[in-house]
Amino acid sequence: MVTYQKTLRNSISCTGVGVHSGELINMTIRPAPADTGVVFKRVDVAEEMAVIPARYDTVSDLIMCTTVENKAGVKVATIEHLMAAFAGSGIDNAIVELDGPEVPVMDGSSAPFIFLIECADIVEQDCPRRFIKVLKEVSVNEGGATAVLSPGDNVSISFEIDFDNQRIGKQSCSFNLRNGTFKNELSRARTFGFLSELEQLKQMGLAKGGSLENAIVLSGQDILNEEGLRYDDEFVRHKALDAVGDLYLAGAPIVGQFQGYRSGHALNNKLLHAFLNDRSAWCYTTEAPVRASNVGGAGWPLQQAAAPVTA
């Protein structure tokens, strides 16, 4: 069955702090024509330097977040939570305008972005969606972490973490991403960090905007956030959320299964490079994945293959 690309019906804006830059940033998400893909645009730089396609091969930095960069050296950081929201909402095409170097972190999850997208409304476009079908298993390993893509008619994401911190410890989750699963089960999971690492991160130029308003903060085994956790396993759910956002940079929706063990942004991107560079591992198809006919989070609504954009 053929499904069609989608974009926002209306533009919508928000303002928030960048978790790493600490800057107050204005963001506007605008509709985009079919085959545009997701494109970031820095409105605070010269027009000819402003556009940054959201693709796995424009990723330039993966320390604590996913950053894309164009050939002019203009960057946008911390894109993963917004990209996951686009994926979970089935948005193929959008222009994301920013007046700073980072996507606002909002509350540290994808839920505020899901809210914005739903407020803007979603419209179907008159152009079929093209999918990437996984034909054989591809895996990458690094430092005891593993990330795998394998064939499957129904799309699922499985994740396992193992932290020395006893409050987190070992956690695992597995979800079929269809019928609003992303919104209902993953979107509200927040990023997290440790109070003991905060000063070191700030010395590295990171986490300047981090607070209890936009992250779960742990001091030893204690959670400092007054409201506690949103899910008992919120930590592993957020790692799965990150993976959804990172995999959205594939360039087209991926039909297959993802498994991550202690994986992070760097290994997720390494997996995409290994997978897409092996032409025997995948093929394009216009056949939608099983049960992928619904709009919100149905199937594996990763980024639609984009027309070439000057970067």
Contact between 77 and 242 (Cβ < 8 Å) = no
Q: Within 10 Å of residue 195's Cβ, how many Cβ atoms?
A: 12
CA nearest to 2, candidates 122, 178, 127? 127
Rg of the chain over all Cα atoms, to the nearest angstrom: 18
C-alpha 197/C-alpha 214 separation (Å) is 16
C-alpha 75/C-alpha 89 separation (Å) is 25
Catalytic option among 81, 238, 265, 273: 265
Pairing of strands 94-98, 24-31: antiparallel
Specify the 3-state DSSP secondary structure of 275. helix
C-alpha 143/C-alpha 136 separation (Å) is 24
Contact between 246 and 59 (Cβ < 8 Å) = no
φ and ψ at residue 207, rounded to 5 degrees: 60, 25
Query: Is 20 an annotated catalytic residue?
Result: no
Q: Which amino acid is at 127?
A: C
CA atoms 102, 122, 182, 115: torsion sign: positive
Residue the block writes with tokens 């930590």: 235
Tokens of 296: 């919100």
C-alpha 222/C-alpha 19 separation (Å) is 22
* Active-site residue set: 265
